Amino acid sequence: MKITYWSDFACPYCYIGNSRLKRAINDLNLDVEFDIRAFELDQNAPKDVKSTTVERFAIKYGLSIEDARKQVAQISGLGRDEGIDFKYESTLYTNTRDAHRLMKLAQDKYPENVEKLARLLFDAYFVENLKLADKEVLLKIALDAGLDENQINDVLNSNLYNSQVEEDEDIALSGGIHGVPFYLFDNKYSIPGALSYDDFKSVLSQIVAENEVDDDKDADSCADGVCKIWNLNG
């Protein structure tokens, strides 16, 4: 099974959703190939911290600071439920373009290190509360993931892989993807959002079962390479 997913390293539900999904995959003993695609929540995010997470959350959703803090705490709780030392309130929000470009380097030159790099980037933001626009931070993360220092610096000091990041985002937008995480299973079944562990497990089981039948059965429910699963609870 191939799972393509769009995410941002500053997206809490991307980290939480990926953790739930991978638990379900492991419990079902599935052989899965992941294809990580870039999606910046804010392409114009600053290179340095301009506001707190709670302040941004309050403005974005029209909440009071108190209500925003409660919701941010609830999201952190979901992360901790996954065994992650999730500290969303104290995250330092900055631009994530360079982090995505390093991911493209890994996908291009170090495919065996891609998953490790993704985990380290998420941990850096949500656990260690580091700035993902800081080149020194990114250099250390990429080195820890097993990438070559010269190639890392070549990326960080240039526009290398910029077009690949933009291509991922263009594909997402042209396909009607306006939020992340967004999952595409076997280039046929689309799932927007971070499902629960049980729902991911149910979806995966259903896809495995449907892949065993004639593809023509569902031909009329597909368009532009994406099919919807309508009866996930049935």
**Encoded amino acid at 173, one letter:** L
pLDDT above 50: residue 232: no
Burial of 77 (0-12, 13-18, 19+ CB in 10 A): exposed
For the chain, the structural domain boundaries read 50-91
pLDDT in tens, 113-155: 999 999 999 999 999 999 999 999 999 999 999 999 999 999 9
Please name which of 105, 145, 152, 147 lies closest in space to residue 122, comparing C-alpha atoms.
145
* pLDDT > 90: percent of the chain: 88
pLDDT band at 229 (very low <50, low <70, confident <90, very high): very low
The confidence score (pLDDT) of residue 117 equals 98
**pLDDT over threshold 60, residue 233:** no
Higher pLDDT, 229 or 83: 83
Identify the three-state secondary structure at position 75: helix
pLDDT for 217 equals 55
Residue-level pLDDT at 212: 77
> How does pLDDT run across 183-228, given as a tens digit for each residue?
999 999 999 999 999 999 999 999 999 887 745 554 444 545 454 4
H/E segment holding residue 173: helix 162-174
**Average pLDDT rounded to a whole number, residues 99-105:** 98
Give buried/exposed letters for 163-189 (b at 16+ CB in 10 A, else e).
ebbeebbeebeeeebeebbbbbbeebb
Q: What was the pLDDT predicted at 74? A: 97
Looking at residue 147, its pLDDT comes to 98
